[in-house]
Structures are given as structure tokens and as C-alpha cells.
């Protein structure tokens, strides 16, 4: 993919992916714009399918949707609410730990800067960037496995890991797409540009794609 093509590709994919359901975390962001709920739903989504994330967040937030109320809930009850998300025992403890830190150090408010977000337990670069973009609408790029895989498949970047991808995208991706590239490519990656055997026959941007690393497709 040539750098000059990226605007056309992103605009086409923004329109194309609008026909599909948004990822679970994006749905929470669209429905609430609540930084705490976005943060917790993002943590629950790690190593977990979207359908499970969505039902688990709904059960959990029916019990509590802010740090103060969350700390009133026994860890076992949180575990029951979020099961069967991946690593639900550890995530329940992390939710309580984060809630305590937010109350003690940030007056119950999720930080809106990258450095402080990374200090929270369980929060890595991707989660921090999702909070900045989805909760606070600040220009940044959240790179997960879908964004990393697809942009390398296109040939738009040539990187070894998500952190390198983030750096390269910040150099070459027009800032108008920074905030929603994660939502667009996660949706695209879940429904069409699959990790194994992508559905290239229905891809709207196939003629721009270098199709790097694709062994089998439909």
C-alpha cells in the first residue's frame, strides 16, 4: 500500500464497517462516554470475545458503575458478575485495586494523560490509548492485534510488535484517523480481514492491499 492511498482506504473502511456492530468497548464508549466504564470494559475485553465482554460489563455495571460503589462489592460477587471473561479472578482483583487507587489518588476520576494511566494496574499502552481516544477524545492511536496485523498485511507498516506499529502509524497516518482507527480495524478484523483465511473476495480495499503474510483466503 502506498502512503498516498491511506486516506482513501480509511474513508472506505469507515463507511464499510458502519454496517457491522461496533466492538464491545466501543459500544460502551458510544453509550456512556464514561471514562471509568470504558476503562473497566477495556480490561474485561482482554483475552475475551466481544459477546462475553458485553454481557459481563452489563452484569457488572448493574452492580456498580463508579469506583466508590465498586469497592463496596465483595470480590467474589464481582467474579460471578464478570465470569466467564478470561482471567476473571485476577481481573476482579484488578478492578478493586484500580477503584481504590482512583479514589485515593485521583478523586475517583480516571486520569486523562498517558503517563498516569500507565501507572494503573493492568493498564498497558493499548488500554491507555483507548481511554485517551474513546473517553477523552484526545488524538492518539490504540494498537491491538487487529490494528497491528492489518496495517502490516496492507504493507502500510512493516513492524514486529504493536508498540512499533503505534510509532510508525503516528508518523504516517493522518491525524484525522487516529482516534477511530482502532474501532474501524477491530470491526474490519473481526468480520472480514480475519487472522486466518481472510475473506478477500468481499474486501472493499483489496486493490490497495499488499496481502502480506496471507497464505489462504476466501
Examine the residue annotation and report whether 126 is marked as an active-site residue of this protein.
Answer: yes
Known active-site residue 112: no
Task: Output the DSSP codes for 87-140.
Answer: THHHHHHHHHHHHHHHHHHHTT----SHHHHHHSTT--HHHHHHIIIIIT--S-
DSSP-assigned letters across all residues of 136-192? T--S-----HHHHHHHHHHTS---SSHHHHHHHHHHHS-GGGTTTHHHHHHHHHHHT
Rounded Cα distance between 169 and 175, Å, is: 9
Which set of grid coordinates corresponds to residue 74?
465483595
- For the record, the C-alpha cell of 98 comes out as 484500580
Residue 59 and residue 206: Cα distance in Å, rounded? 40
Which of 144, 180, 202, 212 does the annotation list as catalytic? 144
Catalytic residue among 37, 54, 91, 126: 126
The answer to whether 200 and 211 are in contact (CB under 8 A) is yes
**Residues taking part in catalysis:** 126, 144
Amino acid at each position: 500500500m502506498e502512503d498516498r492511498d491511506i486516506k482513501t482506504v480509511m474513508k472506505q473502511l469507515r463507511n464499510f464497517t458502519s454496517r457491522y456492530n461496533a466492538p464491545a468497548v466501543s459500544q460502551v464508549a458510544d453509550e456512556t462516554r464514561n471514562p471509568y466504564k470504558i476503562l473497566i470494559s477495556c480490561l474485561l475485553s482482554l483475552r475475551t470475545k466481544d459477546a462475553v465482554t458485553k454481557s459481563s460489563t452489563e452484569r457488572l455495571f448493574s452492580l456498580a458503575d463508579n469506583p466508590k460503589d465498586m469497592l463496596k462489592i465483595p470480590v467474589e460477587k464481582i467474579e460471578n458478575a464478570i465470569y466467564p471473561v478470561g482471567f476473571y479472578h485476577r481481573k476482579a482483583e484488578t478492578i478493586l485495586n484500580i477503584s481504590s487507587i482512583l479514589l485515593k489518588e485521583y478523586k475517583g476520576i480516571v486520569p486523562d494523560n498517558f503517563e498516569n494511566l500507565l501507572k494503573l494496574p493492568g493498564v498497558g499502552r493499548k488500554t491507555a490509548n483507548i481511554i485517551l481516544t474513546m473517553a477523552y477524545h484526545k488524538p492518539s492511536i490504540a494498537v491491538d492485534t487487529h490494528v497491528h496485523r492489518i496495517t502490516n498485511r496492507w504493507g502500510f507498516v512493516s513492524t514486529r510488535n504493536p508498540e512499533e506499529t503505534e510509532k510508525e502509524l503516528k508518523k504516517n497516518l493522518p491525524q484525522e484517523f487516529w482516534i477511530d482507527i482502532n474501532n474501524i480495524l477491530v470491526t474490519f478484523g473481526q468480520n472480514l480481514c480475519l487472522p486466518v483465511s481472510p475473506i478477500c473476495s468481499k474486501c472493499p480495499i483489496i486493490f490497495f492491499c499488499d496481502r502480506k503474510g496471507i497464505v489462504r483466503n476466501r
